[in-house]
């Protein structure tokens, strides 16, 4: 089931081609190490899991498989994402929502909130979290996709990103339980490299032809290019715990 507010909003929402590119890459298993790390970090007894900025719902589905009683609520600004989330798992529902507005989830009800490569509203997440709830955040490290960021027109990742995350969480009344780095290598062909760029902000400011040309140039010497996944999984809980 997908719920839409019917209202427009002032943020730019992921387009159908961007969501399709993300889905192709995730379905190919390129980001499975991230899904597995999230599934391992979820409390199997969780009853309500909120994925804030759920994208295609792939990570929410992996977490729901690891929490067999849980219902998942996938929030995303993009109606294309909401449609994908609604189909991602039998226990997932999708809501089109702007994370910078009051989030339509009751106070203290979320056993877990996921924020995977997504905007984070600390105050609203603290409000939604149950007293013993967990916020699982996945953020990119400076080495993430470093082989292809510049040629594919992807934004640089600041070296202080993790410090800033910890400062934001602590200032918002959370305690960081731990931050675990996770690295893996993915072998990507030209189509997948174009998808990698096209599913993110480069998908807004570069044409598909430009992305394909850049991806072809990167794979001119070999059929596929090894690309580094380099992220951190952070677990934060309400500070009173």
Binding positions for ligand SAM, rule: CB under 6 A: 11, 13-14, 22, 53-56, 59, 76-78, 81, 98-100, 116-119, 200
Nearer to ligand SAM by Cβ, of 9 and 241: the residue is 9
Nearest residue (beta carbon) to ligand SAM: 55
* Least Cβ distance, residue 131 to ligand SAM (angstroms): 25
* CA end-to-end span of the chain: 34
Q: In whole angstroms, what is the distance from residue 60 CA to residue 20 CA?
A: 17
**Beta carbon of residue 160, minimum distance to ligand SAM (angstroms, whole number):** 20
* Residue 94 · residue 85 · CB < 8 Å: yes
Cα 51 from Cα 76, distance rounded (Å): 8
Q: Smaller CB distance to ligand SAM: residue 23 or 218?
A: 23
Name the token pair of 181. 């780095």
Indicate the residue among 146 and 219 with the shorter CB distance to ligand SAM. Answer: 146
39 vs 213, beta carbon nearer ligand SAM: 39
Nearer to ligand SAM, 146 or 213 (CB): 146
Q: How far is the CB of 220 from ligand SAM (least distance, A)?
A: 28
Shortest Å distance, C-beta 122 to ligand SAM: 14
Q: How far is the CB of 63 from ligand SAM (least distance, A)?
A: 11
**What tokens appear for 29 in the block?**
């298993």
Cβ within 8 Å of residue 171, ≥6 positions away: 122
């Amino acid at each position: 089931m997908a719920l839409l507010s019917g209202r427009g909003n002032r943020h730019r929402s992921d387009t159908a081609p961007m969501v399709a590119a993300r889905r192709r890459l995730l379905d190919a298993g390129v980001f499975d190490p991230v899904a597995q790390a999230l599934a391992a970090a979820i409390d199997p007894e969780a009853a309500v899991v909120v994925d804030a900025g759920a994208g295609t719902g792939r990570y929410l589905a992996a977490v729901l498989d690891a929490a067999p009683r849980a219902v998942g609520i996938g929030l995303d600004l993009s109606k294309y994402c909401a449609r994908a989330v609604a189909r991602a798992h039998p226990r997932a529902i999708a809501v089109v929502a702007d994370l910078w507005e009051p989030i339509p989830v009751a106070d203290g009800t979320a056993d877990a909130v996921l924020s995977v490569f997504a905007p984070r509203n600390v105050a609203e997440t603290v409000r939604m979290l149950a007293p013993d709830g967990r916020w699982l955040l996945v953020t990119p490290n400076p080495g993430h996709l470093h082989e292809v960021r510049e040629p594919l027109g992807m934004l640089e990742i600041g070296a202080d990103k993790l410090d800033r995350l910890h400062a934001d969480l602590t200032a918002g009344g959370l305690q960081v339980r731990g931050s675990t780095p996770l690295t893996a290598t993915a072998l990507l062909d030209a189509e997948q490299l174009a998808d990698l760029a096209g599913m993110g902000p480069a998908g807004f400011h570069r044409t598909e032809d430009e992305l394909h040309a850049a991806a072809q140039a990167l794979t001119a010497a070999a059929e596929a290019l090894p690309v580094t996944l380099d992220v951190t999984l952070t677990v934060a809980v309400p500070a009173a715990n």
